[in-house]
Amino acid sequence: MHALENCRVGRVRWHSDTGVLAAELLFDTRLRAGDTFLFRYGVEDGTAGVSREYVRGFDSAGGQYALQVCFDAAALPVRCHRFAQHSVAAPRSGCQELAMSGRHRSVHLVEPRVRAGFLGIGWDWE
């Protein structure tokens, strides 16, 4: 976990059995309800395993959320899509193809009103 802009890394936990990484990002300011805050971080898992998605969990409804995933020019996926999931056991919904920005080798989503559950971007290598 790398803090890149407007944050620093706190506690980091890795669950090797499930491949789940949980990390705390700390801000130097207290946020109040309705405040917005932009920050940037990077994740490198170091396992050399195949990654197929990035998912963020929300325990309550809230404001806006933006997610961008960037790829190395030597390893571009063939397809990317966004998805939502009410709970870990629930089926995925809101699936929508995402167009990759050729120049920046990235895809993104913006959710104007986050709901409790999970929101992510998935990709296919083949």
Assign residue 83 the CATH number of its domain. Answer: 2.60.40
Q: Give pLDDT tens digits for 67-125.
A: 999 998 988 999 999 999 999 899 999 999 999 987 889 999 999 999 999 999 999 99
Same-domain status, 11 and 32: yes
Write down the number of H helices and E strands in the chain.
Answer: 0, 10
Same-domain status, 41 and 55: no
Mean pLDDT taken over the chain: 90
Structural domain count of the chain: 2
Tokens of 37: 């805050």
Same-domain status, 104 and 69: yes
Instruction: Provide the residue range defining the domain that includes 11.
Output: 1-47
Same-domain status, 36 and 79: no
Same-domain status, 79 and 116: yes
Same-domain status, 74 and 125: yes
